[in-house]
Homo-oligomer: A and B are copies of this chain.
Amino acid sequence: MSKKVLVAIADGTEELEAVTIIDVLRRAKADVTVASVGAIQITASRGVKLVADAVISDCVGSVYDLIVLPGGMPGAEHLRDSSQFIDMLKEQAESGRFYAAICASPAVALKPHGLLKNKKATCYPSLLSELENAEQANVVIDGNLITSQGPGTALEFSLKLIEMLFDKQKSREVAKAMLVKD
């Protein structure tokens, strides 16, 4: 059965992180919707212009197996400030379905809404001290929350998301086709 994934973006999203997550999950045949919390076209943190598949209001009421927050500033702040998106995330967290964030987003977008409460997590190293249960690792998994550190860990993070949604075998197949070394 196909897995439904929402990747949220905004002006100032880190484009390498966003596109790595989308690309890698689509290689695993996940049904990925790229949703903007602002206008349908965004300008990412290093100026790349991305056109989303949907705006967030189109996604309210749909059920996703995984919701992912790329990092980047001020992208993570825009995700934090979208009440429609945060309501979806809170329901995701409470339902036990997967949610995941990388780089600035765990500290900037999840923490202020209590979405890291009683969870081990990681984020961009300069923000780690802001987390309650910080772990220094490329990827940290605690129940239905998966977090990661930054652009250099985005590929490992995305492959781990495949493993959580599908299995280790599928993750290895995608990694091999992408020439990712173990």
Contacts and interface: CB of A to CB of B under 8 A. Distances in A.
Interface stretch (A19-27, A92-100, A111-119): A19-27
Contact of A46 (B22, B49, B180): B22
Contacts of A5: none
A178 B102 CA distance: 12
A147 interface: no
Query: Is chain A's binding surface mostly helix, strand, loop or mixed?
Result: mixed
Contact of A19 (B24, B34, B48): B48
A143 interface: no
A149 interface: yes
A85 to B, nearest CB: 20
A28 to B, nearest CB: 11
B46 A27 contact: yes
A20 B47 CA distance: 12
A110 interface: no
A49 B179 CA distance: 24
Contacts of A26: 46-47
A87 to B, nearest CB: 26
A46 B16 CA distance: 14
Contacts of A27: 46
23 contacts: A14-B23, A15-B19, A15-B23, A16-B20, A16-B23, A19-B19, A22-B47, A23-B48, A23-B151, A49-B50, A50-B51, A51-B51, A124-B179, A125-B179, A149-B179, A150-B178, A151-B155, A151-B179, A152-B175, A152-B178, A152-B179, A152-B180, A155-B155
Interface of A: 14-16, 19-20, 22-24, 26-27, 32, 34, 41, 46-53, 124-125, 149-153, 155, 175, 178-181
